Copies of this chain bind each other. A is one copy, B any other.
């Protein structure tokens, strides 16, 4: 771990001591399963004062499933700059896909164990508490670096939800599965009930826990509502238990949040969860942009990152419509990288790429621009495809380019 810390501190432009302290105090996490120490080529630190990071959700569904397809998504994600991936496969092939991804992925890999549990049984109501915990252990052994644990949707929190007038209902796949299981069996959330066992497993294998938000708002009308914050308060308690057990922990957050409520959402999380790294999905700043929700999420993610969120889960253009394909994955990662980078530099921690890019642009030095651009190939392609009659400029203004010297 010391070598990793040294390496990461250098990337983040802080001292090893500083990074060590951040991790020790729970302000930062480094998801890295013992079993994958030698496989992870690009470890990552996530947390306060570090550059904002990006996760890409990949994984198959019952409708579209193939190991090769998911490995391609992994490759595209990493190439586009994702700092981590989550394999959210739900379906019969989940073990095959997950083990392939864990074998190949140079970046930390996350999962949502409740998906594995349900897929192994086909009928969620036949699962007992042990089955859920067993999946956590199985995935920890397989080498998963971080896991979404939906321990916050307790029976008491579910009751708050039942009494609420939510517009969008429960949109978290994992949250809804637990909710249904509790309702049908009359039992407490197994991830909550057996949280100590989960902590033991996580500590043993060095798995970072990502406390899931099963009641995250799926409509901006529901942002900051009582069910959301009731769950967050439980996550606050669980954060303390993780830290006492020496387990790295981060917190998952919304979802759909209008611009005017983003700051408040970040501040509440940081306060209630004692500064634990905040991992947000989007947030989406409007509900009406299906087909373009990578853009909606970039708006919300940039703002969330600026206000202190540490880790952005990408959203692809296919969100709300279909399982993302390869191109969706690429577009999602890039949009999220733009958001993360915009947030980082606004917090003064992004380096000087922007300045170098601007200098290259002023000099009309296209080769240099390729170097600093998020996607240099785009520039190369454009130069080939749209040549101007005038050397050195582009077809936007041709000889009237403002950057030409007289």
Chain A residues engaging chain B, CB cutoff 8 angstroms? 61-64, 90-91, 115, 118, 167-173, 175-177, 180, 183-184, 218-222, 256, 258-260, 285-292, 294-296, 298-299, 302-303, 306, 318-323, 334-335, 338-339, 341-343, 345-347, 353-355, 357-359, 361-362, 369, 372-375, 378-379, 382, 385-386, 388-390, 394-403, 406
Contacts and interface: CB of A to CB of B under 8 A. Distances in A.
B346 A259 contact: yes
A380 to B, nearest CB: 10
Given A61-B397, A167-B362, A259-B302, A402 B286 contact: no
A92 to B, nearest CB: 12
A385 B258 CA distance: 31
A83 B112 CA distance: 44
Between A180, A260, A289, the greatest number of chain B beta carbons within 10 A of the residue's beta carbon is seen for A289
A334 B318 CA distance: 15
A176 B402 contact: yes
Given A306-B260, A358-B167, A397-B90, A378 B321 contact: yes
B295 A357 contact: no
B306 A172 contact: no
A323 B396 contact: yes
A284 to B, nearest CB: 9
Contact of A335 (B175, B295, B400): B295
A323 B379 CA distance: 13
A342 B292 contact: no
Given A61-B398, A171-B403, A220-B358, 5 more contacts: A168-B361, A171-B402, A219-B354, A259-B346, A323-B396
